[in-house]
Structure 1
Amino acid sequence: MEINVELMAKCGFYCGSCPTYIEGKCAGCLLQHKKGDCFTRDCVIEKPLNFCGECKDCPCDIIIERPRVTVLDKAWLEWKRRLK
């Protein structure tokens, strides 16, 4: 599978593998979201980074503790945090 970096969401999710995106029912969060819609998107743009995983603080307390901030699995985020 060829990765199109333009389909990499700010949270790290790859929209190119999402059935909703593939079926044409979603344009991806980069095109659809605006400031204030998504904490992760706003944070990454402010830093500026390409996606959350590039941040030295990833996963930060906000990503771990706030519901619906990321689509990433909470158990994976806790594991990633322990690796720091």
Structure 2
Amino acid sequence: MEFKKELIGKCGIYCGACKLYILKKCGGCSIAGAKCPYFKCVNNKRITSCGECEEFPCQTHYGSMAVYATKFLDWRKGEIEKQTHKAN
């Protein structure tokens, strides 16, 4: 698979490996712009992708355009909470 920088999604997933993109249920936010539910949020926060956001995972990730499995989101949220408690 050829890596294409423009296929790095705002959601943090590489579109070339994303099931939604492959099945043409997502046009890729870097290409489709405003059609991506993550695009506006990431740009407003002036970050590259959701992976850089302090609120990750947020409710958008659990919504109908979910690119991550719910189990992964729950695990990641738990890991972030553990790190936060260690820091305090």
Query: How high is the TM-score relative to the length of structure 1?
Result: 0.68
Unaligned runs of 5+ in 2: 81-88
RMSD: 2.9
Residue 13 (structure 1) aligned with residue 13 (structure 2): yes
Residue correspondence of structure 1 range 1-84 to structure 2 within 5 A:
3-18=3-18, 28-34=28-34, 37-60=35-58, 62-65=59-62, 67-84=63-80
Structure 1: runs of 5+ lacking an equivalent: none
Residue 20 of structure 1 deviates from its aligned partner by 8.2
- Length, aligned pairs only: 78
CA contact (8 A) 1:11 1:70 kept: no
1:28-76 Cα offsets, whole Å, 9 max, x none, are: 3211232xx332111101101111011111112x2354x2243111110
Q: Quick one: which amino acid aligns to residue 13 of structure 1?
A: I
Contact preservation (8 Å) 1:64, 1:78: no
Identity %: 38
Asked which structure has the greater RCO (Cα within 8 Å, sep 6+), the reply is: 1
Q: What amino acid does structure 1 have at the position aligned with 2:50?
A: C
Output the TM-score relative to the length of structure 2.
Answer: 0.66
Highest Rg: 1 or 2?
A: 2
1-structure distance, mates of 2:19, 2:37? 23
Contact 1:9–1:30, Cα closer than 8 Å, also in 2: yes
Question: Which amino acid counterpart does residue 63 of structure 1 have in structure 2?
Answer: T
Do the aligned residues in 2 keep the contact of 1:11 with 1:40 (CA within 8 Å)? yes
